[in-house]
């Protein structure tokens, strides 16, 4: 069973993250089955009140599906779906905090949806934010610049016959990131 994986992931969530996870599970967009909310509460209660965590699949099934006869396949399906929902939550939670990845993903989605005007507005907004970010860190903005320039390059080549050649700045920003990241890691090792 995937319970140990789920257990360790749930243990890593603080109180606020657990609340966010329960809200995530209760949103119809993410999940239409209330059994997973109940499952999260059962597992969390078990984690909090038991030092020796030993899950009995019959007991879990009885708590999730009271009055029904044990069905191992149904329980395994429930656990697998819960694991998938938990992983989706962890990824989305991380994405919210990673501005570079969020901007890259947003530009990519706008480009693939062929929303030209939205793409341009977002691209310009991200370009303006470079100067603000460079005061905080010099490594992350160079990577973000690469992602943004790459998306602009692919966007321009999809919609225009003659485009400006921004391969050199794109490659340069990637080289900057590579050098800065190597320097940062060497300083950490030192």
| pLDDT of amino acid 162 | 64
| pLDDT of amino acid 113 | 92
**pLDDT < 50 positions in the chain:** 51-52, 131, 134-136
Residue listed under structure tokens 């059962």: 42
Torsion angles phi and psi, residue 160, rounded to 5: -125, 145
Judged on CB neighbours under 10 Å (0-12, 13-18, 19+), 185 is: exposed
Q: Full-prediction pTM beyond 0.85?
A: no
Q: Confirm if 32 and 43 have CB atoms less than 8 A apart.
A: no
Crossing angle of helices 140-159 and 99-112, in 10° steps, is: 0
Q: Confirm if 4 and 55 have CB atoms less than 8 A apart.
A: no
Neighbours of 101 (CB within 10 A): 15
| pLDDT of amino acid 153 | 83
Burial 130-143 (b: 16+ CB within 10 A, else e): eeebeeeeeebbbb
Q: Confirm if 25 and 36 have CB atoms less than 8 A apart.
A: yes
| pLDDT of amino acid 135 | 47
Question: Which tens digits make up the pLDDT trace of 158-177?
Answer: 777 666 666 788 788 888 88
């Amino acid at each position: 069973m995937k319970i140990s994986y789920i257990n360790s992931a749930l243990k890593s969530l603080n109180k606020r993250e657990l609340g966010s996870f329960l809200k995530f599970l209760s949103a119809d967009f993410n999940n239409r089955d209330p059994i997973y909310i109940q499952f999260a509460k059962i597992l969390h209660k078990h984690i909090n009140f038991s030092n020796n965590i030993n899950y009995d699949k019959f007991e879990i099934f009885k708590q999730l599906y009271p009055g029904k006869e044990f069905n191992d396949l149904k329980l395994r399906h429930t656990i697998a779906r819960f694991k998938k929902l938990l992983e989706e939550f962890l990824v989305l939670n991380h994405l919210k905090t990673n501005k570079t990845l969020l901007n890259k993903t947003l530009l990519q989605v706008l480009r693939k949806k062929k929303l030209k005007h939205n793409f341009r507005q977002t691209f310009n907004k991200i370009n303006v934010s470079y100067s603000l970010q460079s005061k905080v860190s010099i490594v992350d903005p160079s990577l973000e610049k690469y992602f943004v320039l790459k998306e602009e390059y692919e966007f321009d080549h999809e919609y225009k016959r003659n485009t400006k050649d921004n391969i050199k700045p794109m490659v340069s920003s990637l080289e900057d990131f590579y050098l800065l990241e190597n320097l940062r890691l060497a300083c950490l090792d030192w």
